[in-house]
Amino acid sequence: MDQDLRKWPPINLRPEYITTKIIIMKNLYYYLSAFLLFVCLTACKTTTPTAEKTTDITGKTWKLTELNGQPIQLKNPKNNPYFKLNTEGMRYEGHAGCNGFGGTYEIKPEVMRIKFNQGMSTMMACEDLETEQLFTKAVLAADNYSVNGNTLTLNKARMAPLAKFVLQP
């Protein structure tokens, strides 16, 4: 039994062993503290909406303000052209000033590409037919878009903007 007590405690108590253990434990404490601080700070970080969410143009009504870089001149401002992209069925609908129109569209919001497919339109005789024809032509020709705040711009390749719209409240 005396020999068993000489081996007690069963750990190595040499001074160099204890010093090494203390250094390792201190380093472990500092690394663990830094890691926990990092985790806490990143967990508290507020996130900002991604570009894709801020440039979502679907489900909103867009009112025409410019065609081919020129402000629109309407004889009857109550008939301001507009359109809306519905997510259900990927359909667009709108009013070109006098006639209603609609059809299907394809959109790739991650690269801001859009394509309006030829659709239908009513055929009433109206005063502002020139503006209406330019508007529908611009919508069908567009292949990409950009959004700046509440302004939507439809473009064709690298040409000047075909049409500009403002978000209708």
- 11 band by pLDDT with thresholds 50, 70 and 90: low
Pair (98, 28) in one structural domain: no
Pair (24, 61) in one structural domain: no
Question: pLDDT digit string (tens) for 134-150?
Answer: 999 999 999 999 999 99
pTM of the model: 0.65
Pair (39, 56) in one structural domain: no
Residue range of the domain that includes 77: 51-167
Would you say 92 and 114 are in contact if contact means Cβ atoms under 8 Å apart?
no
Pair (80, 35) in one structural domain: no
- 75 band by pLDDT with thresholds 50, 70 and 90: confident
The enclosing domain of 100 has a CATH number of 2.40.128.270
Q: Is the pLDDT of residue 50 over 60?
A: no
DSSP string across 96-134: -SSSEEEEEEEEETTTTEEEEPP-EE-----TTHHHHHH
Pair (38, 72) in one structural domain: no
